[in-house]
Amino acid sequence: MGSLLDPYARIMYNASHFDDYQRDVTTTAVFIDASYVRAPDYETQFGGVRVACNDQRPDFIVAASPTRSTVGDFLFMLVRQRVKLLVMMDDLQTANESAATPMVVEDEEEDYVATVPYWPAGSTDGGDKAVDLENFFSTYQACQVVRHAEKYSHDCCCQTLSVTPVDVMQVCLQKGGHVDPWPIIQLHFTGWPRHGVPRMDIFYNFAVKCLKYLDDFA
């Protein structure tokens, strides 16, 4: 996956070099792509900000499911960020219910925008075999997702997924090459209600499980 996806992993800034790590954010504007999930380091003595290097990737991302119009962009971000562990906080039942709607529906009374699953739904192809591959599209990005494994436990679903940007895959096929899909482990918290907050003990157990997975990746 390396060289072909490297251009997508680079972020464009409004300056050519960032050798001066004592940059004062109050006087110098630094543009960073808003979808690039990475916190800068702040210098405590002078209040400057140090932009993290490109080879520093987030250990994990905690997110809510994307909408139907942004699902391709969300998946592309996971590949570009080299995310290996994704912690998803949406309730699985709510996500599946919203996926059945013909379009993204906004509830004006509750200010709620329906989200959609971004992995294969597991429906059958007309026979007994489940479909574990699906393409997801947005205006600018399209990604292919394969679900390799799925395991349910109390208030949590662990899925092993792989994601490949469709345009990168097409370039590889045209050149007779091959691109390896990006593997992702997703921990899906299914105990968060649509209204209110989850029980403390349930959420604590889920947090402990996430920390265990982080230790395994370290």
Q: Does 92 share its domain with 159? A: yes
Q: Does 133 share its domain with 61? A: yes
Task: Assess whether pLDDT exceeds 50 at residue 197.
Answer: yes
Query: Which pLDDT belongs to residue 3?
Result: 30
* Number of domains into which the chain is organized: 2
**C-alpha span between 73 and 89 (Å, rounded):** 18
Q: Does 104 share its domain with 120? A: yes
Q: Does 84 share its domain with 52? A: no
Q: Does 52 share its domain with 77? A: no
For residue 33, the enclosing domain spans 1-56
Query: What length is written for the chain?
Result: 218
Task: Assess whether pLDDT exceeds 90 at residue 147.
Answer: yes
Query: Which pLDDT belongs to residue 64?
Result: 82
What pLDDT band is residue 57 in, cutting at 50, 70 and 90?
low
| pTM of the complete model beyond 0.85 | no
CATH code, domain with 202: 3.90.190.10
Which of 167, 113, 161, 173 has its CA nearest to residue 138? 167
List residues bridging with 37 in a β-sheet. Answer: none
Q: Does 23 share its domain with 76? A: no
107-121 pLDDT per residue, tens: 444 455 667 788 887
Q: Does 147 share its domain with 186? A: yes
List residues bridging with 61 in a β-sheet. Answer: 86
Q: Does 166 share its domain with 181? A: yes
